[in-house]
Amino acid sequence: MTTARNPRDSTSSSGHADRSGLDGPLSEALVRTRRYFTKGTVSEDLRTLTKRGGRQADDFYRDRWSHDKVVRSTHGVNCTGSCSWKVYVKDGIITWETQQTDYPSVGPDSPEYEPRGCPRGAAFSWYTYSPTRVRYPYVRGVLLQMFREGKSQHDGDPVRAWEHIVENPQRAKAYKSARGKGGLVRATWEEACEIVAAAHVHTIKKYGPDRVAGFSPIPAMSMVSHASGARFVNLVGGSMLSFYDWYADLPVASPQVFGDQTDVPESGDWWNAGYLIMWGSNLPVTRTPDAHWMTEARYRGQKVIAVAPDYADNVKFADEWLPARPGTDGALAMAMGHVVLKEFFVDRQTPYFTEYVKTYTDLPYLVKLDDAGDGAFTAGKFLTAADLASAGAAQENAAFKTVLIDARTGEPVVPNGSLGHRFGDAGIGRWNLELGDVDPQLSLLEGAEETVLVQMPRFDTADGAAADLPRGVPVRRVNGHLVTTVFDLLLAQYGVGRDGLPGQWARGYDDADAPYTPAWQEVITGVRASTAARIGREFAANAEESRGRSMIVMGAGTNHWFHSDTIYRAFLTLTNLTGCQGVNGGGWAHYVGQEKVRPITGYTQIANALDWSRPPRNMIQTAFWYLHTNQFRYDQFGADTLAATTGKGQLAGKSTADVIAQSARMGWMPSYPTFDRNPLDLADDAAAAGKPVGAYVVEQLKSGELDFAGEDPDAPQNYPRILSIWRANLLGSSGKGNEYFLKHLLGTDSSIRATETPEDQRPVDVTWRDEAPEGKLDLLMTIDFRQTSTTIFSDVVLPAATWYEKHDLNTTDMHPFVHSFNPAIAPPWQTRTDWDAWQSIAAKFSELAATHLGVRKDVVAVPLTHDTADAMANPHGVVRDWKMGECEPIPGVTMPKLVEVERDYGAIAEKMNALGPLVDTLGATTKGVTFELGKEVDYLRRKNGAVRGGVADGRPSLKKDVNVCEAILAMSGTTNGHLATQGFKTLEKRTGVRLADLAEEHEGKQITFADTQGPPVPVITSPEWSGSETGGRRYSPFTINVERRKPWHTLTGRMHFYLDHDWMTELGEGLPVYRPPLNMAALFSEPSLGNVSNGAGAAEVEGLTVRYLTPHNKWSIHSEYQDNLFMLSLSRGGQNIWMSDRDAAKVGIQDNDWIEAVNRNGVVVARAIVSHRMPEGTVYMYHAQDRLIDVPIAETSGKRGGIHNSLTRILVKPSHVIGGYAQLTFAFNYLGPTGNQRDEVTVIRKRSQNVEY
């Protein structure tokens, strides 16, 4: 190469034409002299200098790149990424991280999962040594001082010291009112654990174990760390709080339609779709490591549509952008459904679709019509075998066997596979979707002798007020019952007319007055009618041609609304009509906090401590905080405000708190604290009375001597007293109604501006106390590695090891692998892993509890539970409230089950550390399939070693986090092929269909922790989930249901369009329907959207009223990383609110101005980002920016500005607390009220640009 030349050889001429020479001759001569003084080679044409690599001048960069080791780990944050990372270590210091690229291949004709990661994860190592790291245990100074005083005054007894503080109102107020205002002081682990343990012992003794609560979300991301505290809380009898529903990530439509929590395709399956709609899901931001599958699938000829109110990051990739107004997505989907029904079901038959809906959905099933008077009817209950002539009615579980007409014979038949076949002896081998010779009749129109008008509910007025429309359906009579099919009702609901049917129907797609036409939706969504129709048509046409490969990726933009379940049901109508569920490349792809603990069975045993005691107390967090942060005291409307005109008034006169209380006492939803008496004392009282607890409690409830705690949440004996938080930031992230938390739960300063509920709106069954409590919580304890809004408000803060400092397991549903956390360095300073921290607490607790508590009996109230025969407690979903005298209180039927559990409080630590005996004797049950674990326990005893002495003598050890990893992997079907096969064989007996072959290829495979320390390991197809990975295919949910005809866990065993529970009917949501966002002006007297006020009006805040949305942030994963200097440098360095240029102009706001956002719930101070990519009338405050970074004092309140959730509050939808009926039966994180927050509005005003801190 050129170095071979001697530069002196070529001084004369560049060899090029003058024209392309450099500069002029003079400078050329000057520069040429350089060639004599350099060791490098000046190019012949004098442009540049070349040198060979490897010179000493490079040393700096070579040295910078060198490292001692690379350790595999990942990030246990609340994110579905589940990305495997390389952590670089030099001289014992973590330097940085880059992604692993060694994922097993997806195959030669597909992109791969490498490299997974995002900028947030790439910035994680910053935390290790950052000044926000929690390095030592901290206690609030004023509390620590009182504790030490108390101890010295009470013979050194920590329990009495705690009592000394919390039972004295002045002392309690002194430390509670200091929360969040600095003054944390260092403590030792010993002393901090002593405080925490003493608080637990005192609380359990005086108030009961269900007054202890624990919160840690999303186990999939670090399941051992989650299980650490959960295991402790469950062993002592505390309540673990749900998260999926609380985060509003649970799509309630999923249990409603599928009878399943959520099951979704891995991102690699997007590749298989022919048509993809991204609906309210900003993939590049919220699914960063997966987004490439979408960009790449486009090259395979996939058409991509983006529905988003703003020009979001993902819109760039779409072929078309449908900017539907926020919260109106349901209207667009309903109109698309209208087009699909008309063009693919009515105008012509589409064989693939027709066959699909007949086999896999409830569309052919019969529904009874109720006479509503005046010749009109309303849709009623499913016709069941119980309604048939006596022979049918006599069969087992007849009320849970649904009926359809066989088109061949015209006779009603009871197909296999409904809920009634799932339980009981007669159903063995018949719980399947095999139809045999039966041809389900979809519509009764052909040859119909009779039609009737059915009142279809509607809510499409601007304020969401209810109305109805008469539309005809064909009917017939079965055993005296007037019936039609779900399909006929669906066409009536969607307004798709057919010849011969009476009623008001759409004149055509351009009929803007008739729901749910394309023209009708244009008025609501702003999306052109022709576009809505065309996209709906394209979606279905693609599904027809590809046999179901049309997919909707749906996100928080559509799932975080009050009425999200109706939005989702309109989406699922599209995928389910077009045969897309259970098909690779098709169906719903709900990606909102939907993390999948793939080794679910093993994890559940450990976290719920089911190996030692059953059942656990699992609480719905939304209802918990609705009551205990006293948000129920600020409601301005009753539960019946949401009712349809077609309902019977079942919610009339009730407040939301009343509805929650009713749900709890009927055993629908859990409620902890449960009773207004310590459940330990209750067990003693029952024993003293010489009665079984069930009988005793029923008697006490009936006599009124015992009440539910939720019916008087402000009575001091009914508060939750202790809250432990780890792996979470409740007060900086998920706490809707943040200011209510600060005031009522914590008893410190807040910026609430709302007024309390007027007298006529107050609860009737739930007690209203004149004085709202402040500071209900005695102890807020947080374990974290960084300072957050939760730590700085905590009484005790314990320093956690980070994700690069411990062992753990990580899975997601975005990819099919399990992989590990490993320590790159030992936990530095005084940090401890979560497992270690909770062991420390448990040890101290056991020591104190041995004398203060001893062995006690505990009465646990358990709600009716999904995937058990409890789902048959309430035939036809008829509400029966024993308190109203509608029935007798019968535990496990009309009220919660009551179970007595023994708690050996001195042995909690010993139990933490060992796998208990109940897994041997009772096995482990997941979704109705019980696994026998005898062999696995033996294996674990040998693998982990056995514990010696104490209550756990001879049991497998769980002393170390690695032991727990092994136990989770060994006890789950997805990671242990023996168990997967065993589970399928069990399921084969009930279903009578072949299943075990799905896991046969991996029957001998057992994944160990050591395996996960290598490249990510693919999991095994297991009955724990609904999809198949057999043969290396991509995971898509419900493929086992579709391909093997295994029923869904619903009433009919099919996917449901129709829901016949009383309260669903009451809300007018029996069928998919459009419900607009809540009208906050009407409900809470907020100013109307678009209102510009100068502040002169009474009580009005100056500024512009806009819709207030809190989408997921590009620069954080919830509150994690928003404080990270890299992320702050790449964004705008602090809290901000995005708004449109048009809105900004209305109130004189410029880009980067300081602004305030004010509503009745609180005040936020932020800087404005002004952009035309934002739609007029809506602002975004990206989620969880916390309050710790550059947040000044608010002008409006004189206090520190709030967080994004300072402007939100909890709003509970009554239908979310339905339970005890078919798929509408409670399971933890499966069903429950959502912590939705999108319907909110705020006033935006420009504030003084001089800010103070």
Question: Between residue 96 and residue 115, which ones bind another protein under the rule CB under 8 A?
Answer: 96-99, 101, 108-112, 114-115
Amino acid identity at 619: M
For another protein, give the closer residue by CB, 64 or 702. 64
CB of residue 258 to another protein, shortest distance in Å: 28
- Return phi, psi of residue 1129, to 5°: -70, -25
CB of 128 to another protein, least distance (A): 12
Q: Please tell me whether residue 50 binds another protein under the rule CB under 8 A.
A: yes
- β-strands 550-554, 587-590: how paired? parallel
Quickly count: other Cβ atoms within 10 Å of residue 762's Cβ.
18
Nearest to 209 by CA among 672, 666, 587: 672
3-state secondary structure of 1122: coil
Take residue 926 and report the two structure tokens written for it: 């997941």
CB of 93 to another protein, least distance (A): 12
Pairing label, strands 467-478, 481-485: antiparallel
Nearer to another protein, 905 or 1182 (CB): 1182
Sheet with 320-322: list strands edge to edge. 320-322, 303-307, 275-279, 550-554, 587-590
Asked if 1118 touches another protein (CB under 8 A), the answer is no
* Least Cβ distance, residue 307 to another protein (angstroms): 12
Q: Token digits for 522?
A: 């244009």
Which region, judged by CB under 8 A, interacts with another protein, from 320-328, 371-379, 709-717, 1058-1066?
320-328
Return the number of the residue (1075 or 1187) whose C-beta is nearest another protein.
1187
The H or E element that residue 839 is part of is helix 834-852
Considering beta carbons, is residue 173 or 1142 the nearer one to another protein?
A: 1142
Of 886 and 1151, which CB lies nearer to another protein in the complex structure? Answer: 1151
Window 125 to 154, contacts with another protein (CB under 8 A): 125, 130-132, 134, 138, 141-142
- Out of 123, 139, 1164, 1217, the only residue in the binding site for another protein (CB under 8 A) is 123
Closer to another protein by CB, 1034 or 1046: give it. Answer: 1034
| Contact assessment for residue 301 and residue 275, using Cβ atoms and an 8 Å cutoff | no
Look at the block and give the residue holding tokens 């109706």: 566
Of residues 284, 582, 667, 1162, which one binds another protein by CB under 8 A?
A: 284
Q: How many CB atoms lie within 10 A of CB 186?
A: 14
| Span of 341-349, 371-379, 470-478, 1167-1175 interacting with another protein by CB under 8 A | 1167-1175
Q: How far is the CB of 412 from another protein (least distance, A)?
A: 40
Q: Shortest Cβ distance from residue 271 to another protein (Å)? A: 9
Residue 70 or 869 with smaller CB distance to another protein? 70
Amino acid at 749: D
Q: Using an 8 Å Cβ cutoff, are 286 and 305 in contact? A: no
CB distance 1253 to 1192 below 8 Å: yes
Question: Scanning residues 781 to 820, which ones bind another protein (CB under 8 A)?
Answer: 787, 789, 792
- Work out whether 68 is an interface residue with another protein (CB under 8 A): no
Residues of span 253-282 touching another protein by CB under 8 A: 274
Chain centroid to CA 263? 12
The two structure tokens encoding residue 120 = 């947030």
Candidates 12, 155, 170, 299; binder of another protein (CB under 8 A) is 299
The binder of another protein chosen from 342, 1200, 1204, 1216 (CB under 8 A):
1200
Among 160, 172, 311, 917, binds another protein (CB under 8 A): 311
Which tokens in the block code for residue 980? Answer: 């997967």
Candidate residues 1188, 1210, 1218, 1224; the one interacting with another protein per rule CB under 8 A: 1188
Q: Is 436 in the site for another protein (CB under 8 A)?
A: no
Could you say which residues in the range 80-99 bind another protein, by CB under 8 A? 95-99
Here's the x/- map for another protein, 513-552, by CB under 8 A: it reads as ---------------x-xx--x--xx--xx--xx------
* Angle, vertex CA 39, rays to CA 33 and CA 41, nearest 5: 70
Question: Shortest gap between Cβ of 451 and another protein (angstroms)?
Answer: 35
Q: Which stretch binds another protein (CB under 8 A): 418-426, 599-607, 829-837, 1182-1190?
A: 1182-1190
| Residue 273 near residue 302, CB atoms below 8 Å | yes
- Least Cβ distance, residue 529 to another protein (angstroms): 11
Size of the residue set binding another protein (CB under 8 A): 153
Q: Please give the full DSSP string across 264-305, using - where no structure is assigned.
A: ---GGGGGG-SEEEEES--HHHHSTTTHHHHHHHHHTT-EEE
658 burial type by CB count under 10 A (0-12 exposed, 13-18 middle, 19+ buried): buried
Does 116 sit near another protein (CB under 8 A)?
yes
Hey, how many other C-beta atoms are within 10 angstroms of the C-beta on 101?
13
Q: Site for another protein (CB under 8 A): which residue of 36, 58, 173, 888?
A: 58
DSSP class per residue in 840-908: HHHHHHHHHHHHHT-EEEEEEEE--BTTSGGGGSSGGG----GGGTSS---BTTTB-EEEEEEEEGGGH
296 lies in the site for another protein, by CB under 8 A: yes
Does the protein bind another protein through residue 1148 (CB under 8 A)? Answer: no
Nearest Cα to Cα of residue 564 among 1166, 1078, 1084, 1022 = 1078
Which residues does 909 contact at the CB level (< 8 Å), separation at least 6?
A: 839, 842, 843, 845, 846
Confirm if 646 and 1204 have CB atoms less than 8 A apart: no
Residue 55 binds another protein, judged by CB under 8 A: yes
Spatial distance between the Cα atoms of 311 and 961, rounded to a whole number of angstroms:
45
Q: Under the criterion CB under 8 A, does residue 49 sit at the interface with another protein? A: yes
d(CA 304, CA 270): 11
Residue 880 binds to another protein (criterion: CB under 8 A): no
Q: Does 7 bind another protein (CB under 8 A)?
A: no
Which listed range, 586-594, 992-1000, 1047-1055, 1136-1144, lies at the site for another protein (CB under 8 A)? Answer: 1136-1144
Q: Which of 1190, 1195, 1239, 1240 binds another protein (CB under 8 A)?
A: 1190
Select from 1122, 1104, 1102 the least CA-distant residue to 1112. Answer: 1122
Query: According to the binding rule CB under 8 A, does residue 352 interact with another protein?
Result: no
Which residue among 200, 231, 303, 832 contacts another protein (CB under 8 A)? 303
Q: Using the rule CB under 8 A, which residue among 168, 1085, 1152, 1248 binds another protein?
A: 1152
- Residues 154 to 213: which contact another protein by CB under 8 A? 178, 180-184
Contact flag: residue 306 with another protein (CB under 8 A): yes
Interface residue with another protein, options 300, 408, 507, 769 (CB under 8 A): 300
| CA 565 to each of CA 35, 262, 626: distance values in angstroms, whole numbers, following the listed order | 75, 13, 20
Q: What string of H, E and C letters represents the secondary structure of 542-585?
A: HHHHHCCCEEEEECHHHHCCCCHHHHHHHHHHHHHHCCCCCCCC
Stretch that binds another protein, among 212-220, 294-302, 655-663, 893-901 (CB under 8 A): 294-302
For another protein, the closer of residues 369 and 541 by Cβ is: 541
Give which of 835, 784, 823, 826 is closest to 133, Cα–Cα: 784
